[in-house]
């Protein structure tokens, strides 16, 4: 009889809640270990927290919510590995669902900062940008290089065929443009993988900036783009030495955007191995990673930029071609004959 009463008592008793200890990884790891795991050093991580902590802080007396720092660390760990939420949660002593919520919340807030960290340089900054590009291969008046990159995603639930890229897998076609310091000045992450680079550019704000003459200078692209007075692409069949030199200089300068893609994807491998999310969330993650990339360059905590000779290169006068047929060809021929004839 006594044993039965004890059994009933144990069944009716409310189990005590177990709260796992949440230590601060920044206090347990060295700076090199922090950088290796989260792609930023502790000072920059705390700065990221300061940008979004007011929004992701949850004050409640009913539970033990994740502090902003752990939410940011969970998101950074995901960007840095592309791993499963369960594994990230195990490394931080939090649940899989908590990691998922943290990644979504931090991603949303970081992508909302895109206007602050991903912006086209002002007219006053363009002079130094032209100088840095000119010193790469002698190509004049360059203010940015543009290209598209494919970001693999999971099979979408809607419009599946539109996301199949030319390589045969589901992807986003993300357009980015960068300056000579690998800083991204434009990011368009909203198009399915089947959309061509030229269409993405045509519909972008970057094209509108130059179409309306809001900025002066040249953009360099590959042969997938249409030749315009402000967008230089290689000669498909160069017929003389000047055109060959033009192509070589353009390729040596335009490789900056390819290098920027490499830096971005090595720093945040989730973009390289693929995102196991639907397109809308994948777009936000891409923008968040670009924001972090630019933030890291701004704080000198993501890539070492080699020193550049600060010799000023004046803007080169190009022929007046407004309203002229094949105005892009006229500008390209003028540059080839003026700068690359020898």
Kindly report, residue by residue over 258-317, the tens digit of the pLDDT: 999 999 999 999 999 999 999 999 999 999 999 999 999 999 997 655 554 444 444 555
Residue 22 lies in a domain: no
What sections of 82-196 are H helices per DSSP? 85-92, 96-111, 114-117, 123-137
pLDDT per position as a tens digit, 9-66: 555 554 555 445 567 889 889 999 999 999 999 999 999 999 998 888 765 555 667 8
Residue 52 belongs to a domain: yes
Domain presence at residue 320: yes
Residues 222, 103 share a domain: no
Residues 131 and 68 in one domain: no
The pLDDT score that the predictor gives to residue 3 is 63
Domain that holds residue 249: 118-339
Q: What is the pTM of this model?
A: 0.87
Judge whether residue 84 has pLDDT over 80.
yes
Q: Is residue 178 part of a domain?
A: yes
**Same structural domain for residues 204 and 271?**
yes
Please tell me whether residues 77 and 128 are part of one structural domain.
Answer: no
Q: Kindly report, residue by residue over 88-135, the tens digit of the pLDDT.
A: 999 998 999 999 999 999 999 999 999 999 999 888 888 899 999 999
Q: What 3-state DSSP class applies to 151?
A: strand
20 within a domain of the structure (yes/no): no
In terms of domains, do 246 and 200 share one?
yes
DSSP 188-204: EEEEETTS-HHHHHHTS
DSSP string over 287-315: HHHHHHHHHHHHTT-S-PPPP------PP
- The confidence score (pLDDT) of residue 313 equals 46
In the listed set 66, 81, 112, which residue is the last one of a domain according to the structure? 112
Residue at 21 is within a domain:
no
DSSP state of 208: H
CA distances (Å), 337 to each of 113, 252, 258, 318, in order? 43, 18, 27, 12
259 and 125 inside one domain = yes
Query: Taking 80 as the threshold, does the pLDDT of residue 237 lie above it?
Result: yes
Do residue 79 and residue 196 come from a single domain?
Answer: no
On whether both 100 and 166 belong to a single domain, the answer is no
What's the rounded Cα separation, in Å, for the pair 199 and 148? 11
Say whether both 54 and 135 belong to one domain.
no
Q: Are residues 175 and 297 in the same domain?
A: yes
CA-CA distance, 192 to 151, in Å (whole number)?
Answer: 10
Domain limit, last residue, from 81, 112, 143 = 112
Same structural domain, 99 and 178 = no
Please check whether residue 10 lies inside any domain of the structure. no
The reply to whether 11 falls in a domain is no
- Measured N-to-C along each axis, helices 96-111 and 279-298 cross at an angle, to the nearest 10 degrees, of 70
When the pLDDT of each residue in the chain is averaged and rounded to a whole number, the result is: 88
Count how many domains the chain has: 2
- The H or E element that residue 185 is part of is strand 184-192
Q: Which of 112, 137, 170 is the last residue of a domain?
A: 112
What is the per-residue pLDDT across 316-341, written as a single tens digit (0 to 9) for each?
555 555 555 578 999 999 999 999 98
pLDDT at position 244 is 96
Helices 96-111 and 68-81: angle between axes, nearest 10 degrees: 90
- With cut-offs at 50, 70 and 90, classify the pLDDT of residue 2: low
- Is 107 found in the same domain as 140? no
């Amino acid at each position: 009889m006594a044993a039965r009463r004890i059994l009933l008592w144990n069944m009716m008793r409310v189990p005590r809640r177990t709260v796992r200890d949440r230590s601060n990884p920044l206090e347990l790891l060295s700076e090199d270990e922090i950088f290796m795991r989260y792609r930023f050093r502790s000072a920059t991580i705390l700065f990221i927290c300061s940008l979004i902590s007011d929004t992701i802080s949850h004050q409640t007396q009913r539970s033990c919510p994740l502090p902003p720092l752990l939410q940011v660390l969970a998101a950074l760990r995901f960007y840095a590995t592309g791993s499963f939420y369960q594994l990230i949660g195990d490394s931080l002593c939090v649940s899989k669902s908590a990691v998922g919520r943290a990644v979504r919340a931090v991603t949303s807030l970081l992508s909302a900062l895109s206007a602050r960290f991903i912006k086209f340089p002002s007219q006053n900054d363009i002079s130094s940008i032209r100088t840095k590009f000119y010193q790469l291969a002698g190509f004049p008046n360059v203010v940015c290089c543009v290209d598209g990159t494919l970001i693999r995603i999971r099979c979408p639930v809607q419009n599946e065929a539109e996301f199949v890229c030319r390589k045969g897998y589901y992807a986003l076609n993300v357009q980015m443009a960068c300056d000579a310091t690998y800083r991204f000045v434009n990011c368009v992450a909203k198009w399915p993988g089947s959309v061509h680079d030229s269409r993405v550019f045509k519909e972008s704000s970057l094209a509108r900036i130059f179409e309306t003459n809001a900025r002066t200078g040249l953009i360099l692209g590959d042969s997938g783009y249409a030749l315009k007075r402000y967008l230089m692409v290689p000669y498909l069949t160069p017929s003389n030495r000047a055109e060959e030199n033009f192509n070589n200089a353009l390729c040596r300068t335009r490789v900056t955007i390819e290098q920027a893609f490499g830096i971005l994807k090595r720093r945040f491998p989730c973009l390289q191995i693929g995102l196991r999310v639907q397109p809308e969330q994948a777009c936000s993650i891409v923008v968040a990673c670009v924001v972090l990339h630019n933030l890291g360059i701004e704080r000198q905590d993501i890539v070492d930029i080699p020193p550049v000779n600060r010799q000023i290169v004046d803007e080169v006068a190009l022929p007046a071609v407004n309203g002229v047929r094949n105005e892009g060809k006229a500008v390209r021929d003028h540059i080839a004959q003026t700068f690359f004839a020898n």
